[in-house]
Amino acid sequence: MRVVIAEDSVLLREGLTQILTRFGHDVTAVGDADALHDAVRADPPGIVVTDVRMPPGFRDEGLRAALSLRAEHPSLPVLVLSQYVEQSYAADLLETGGGIGYLLKDRVGDVTDFVTALHDVATGGTVIDPQVVRSLLARRRTPLERLTPREREVLTLMAEGRSNGAIARDLVVSEAAVIKHVGSIFTKLDLHVTPDDHRRVLAVLTLLRGT
């Protein structure tokens, strides 16, 4: 399989290349997000493995590159590696669909597990670091409990059949703020945009079921 690696540290780039070559993969390694884009455009690989923090800003360039690559090529498998994992990053990646992975860099050291994970992602699977999953499970909260008190107020008013404008007047906030809360409610209740569902009704139903 052809793999494109984006990693700015020479040390880790070589380590990754060595491991993947050993398992018979054809590796192209680049050092930043722009080069990653170019490499994918030139010849779409079987999977992209990218670091999060890369030049020029050394912030989340790699993650943003992963997201934009997914937007351009929705079926391109991407495995994101990072020195630390954050749930919010995982959520962003998961929203782009299957064939996605998000792992701590040291998982690469468990070579066989890592290569298995790489194959899973390449074949459309989803691999999320156990640390992220642990923190998700640790919350063990029902979707309703994830709402902030303000979001709960908004949802209650939604259940009374009020429009966003009316809710904004009731709570003495801007309508934009209400729209933000509503969006956040949909996210926390796992209500995604689908052509067949009315999310506002589904959110209210969740409230009524009390789960």
Partner 1 sequence: MSTDTPTLWRAMGRNPVRFVFSSWPWRAFAYVVTGPVVALAWLAAVSVVLVVGLALTPVVVGLVVLACLPLTALPLAAVERNRLRWIDPRPAPSSHSAPERPGLQAWMRFRLREPMTWREFGYALLTAVLGVVDVVVPFTVIVGSTLQLAAPDLVRRGDQLAYGPGRTVDEPAEAWLAAGAGLLVLLAGLYLITALAGARAALARALLVRDAERELIEVRAARVRLADAFEAERRRIERDLHDGAQQRLTALIMTLGLARLDHPSPLLDRAHTEAKEALEELRDLVHGIHPPVLTDRGLGVAVEALAERSVIPVDVDIEVGRLPEAIESAAYFVVAEGLANVAKHSGASRARVTVRPGLVVEVQDDGSGGAEPGTGVRGLADRVAVHDGTVRLSSPAGGPTVLRVEIPCAS
Site residues (vs partner 1, CB under 8 A)? 9, 11-12, 15-16, 18-19, 22, 53, 58-60, 83-84, 86-88, 105-106, 108-112, 114, 135-136, 138-139, 141, 145, 148-150, 177
Q: In the complex, what is the shortest distance from the CB of residue 86 to partner 1, in angstroms, rounded to a whole number?
A: 5
* Cβ(77)–Cβ(47) below 8 Å: yes
CB of 110 to partner 1, least distance (A): 6
Q: Among residues 33 and 76, whose Cβ is nearest to partner 1?
A: 33
Residue 40 or 90 having the CB closest to partner 1? 90
Shortest spacing between CB 97 and partner 1, in angstroms:
22
Closer by beta carbon to partner 1, 52 or else 76: 52
CB of 96 to partner 1, least distance (A): 17
What residues are paired with 55 via a beta bridge?
Answer: none
Q: In this structure, what are the phi and psi dihedrals at residue 102, rounded to the nearest 5 degrees? A: -145, 105
Q: Considering the complex, state which of residue 42 and residue 176 has its C-beta at the smaller distance from partner 1.
A: 176
Closest by Cα among 104, 81, 93, 2 to 43: 2
Element of type H or E holding 155: helix 149-159
CA dist., res. 109 & res. 156, Å (int): 49
Q: Are the C-beta atoms of residues 169 and 177 closer than 8 Å to each other? A: no
- Least gap, CB of 184 to partner 1 (angstroms): 10
Distances (CA, A) of 13 to 5, 160, 198: 7, 56, 47
Prior bond of 56 cis (ω within 30°)? yes
Residue with smaller CB distance to partner 1, 76 or 118: 118
